[in-house]
Amino acid sequence: MRTNRRSTRVRNRTPNHRGLALAVVAALAAGASGCGTVKTSGTARTATEQLLLTNAWDTALQKVDFRALAGVPVFLDTANVSAVDQGWVVSSLRQSMLAQGVLLRPKAEQAQWVVEARVGAYGTDSSNWLLGISQTTIPPTLTGVPSGTIPEIPLIKKSDQKGVAKLALFAYDRASGRLVWESGTMLAVATAKDVQVLGIGPIQSGTIRDGADLAGIKLPTLPGELPTPKPGRFRMRRRGTYATAPPALPGAELKQSSRLSDTEGFAP
């Protein structure tokens, strides 16, 4: 019986020790403090600027119909293509031509036609709009008025950015120098908008973003903001899988007649 009493006493004391230990840990946790840091960095160009420019370029390029050049050995001349994102611009040109059936050649002497591309605009613009009190500096020359700077007090603040891309292409026969195709001038704009209301925001929207959001929370589509289809590979419609090709440009008929005469005696 003594053994049973001792074991019973031990079992009864165990919960008390555990409770005391938990109380001590809780007290230490409540009195302790900690901090953490997150390392951030920034590139020379913001992601918004890069998206504005490349999205505008992609939209303009999607308007170009290269089907008139399909099946013809072509050399792409990019000497007049000057842009900040040079690699993206030239590579997307080549991809779009290949996707529409153009036969690209690495050297001009290996091609039948030469396609010359040029960029008329590739840049960004921005504008800001403020309803409230703008930042004001009080000079020390006013007697009785303390000098200093009154910070900006915005009720509604809006910032608009846009990227603009303009391009044009034409093709000529390498042997005769005769013009055989031209794309026309393609112009496209990409936008980014930030709005703050009574210090809440920014509410971000624009064509480079997938709808509007506030601190990562998706908001209903704002008036005038229509969703923009994402750029993709250009192909003819096949069972509803790919986008429909744009209507043929006037150069298509000229290409058909010139190919019959220029292809004769041509060795790729």
Query: What is the pTM (predicted TM-score) of this model?
Result: 0.65
For the stretch 7-35, pLDDT in tens is 444 444 445 556 665 665 566 555 555 56
d(CA 5, CA 11): 10
Residue positions counted in the chain: 268
Q: Helix %, strand %, coil % for the chain, to 5?
A: 30, 35, 40
What span, in angstroms and rounded, lies between the C-alpha atoms of 196 and 198? 7
pLDDT tens per residue across span 148-166 = 777 777 788 889 999 999 9
175-194, pLDDT tens digit by residue?
A: 999 999 999 999 999 999 98
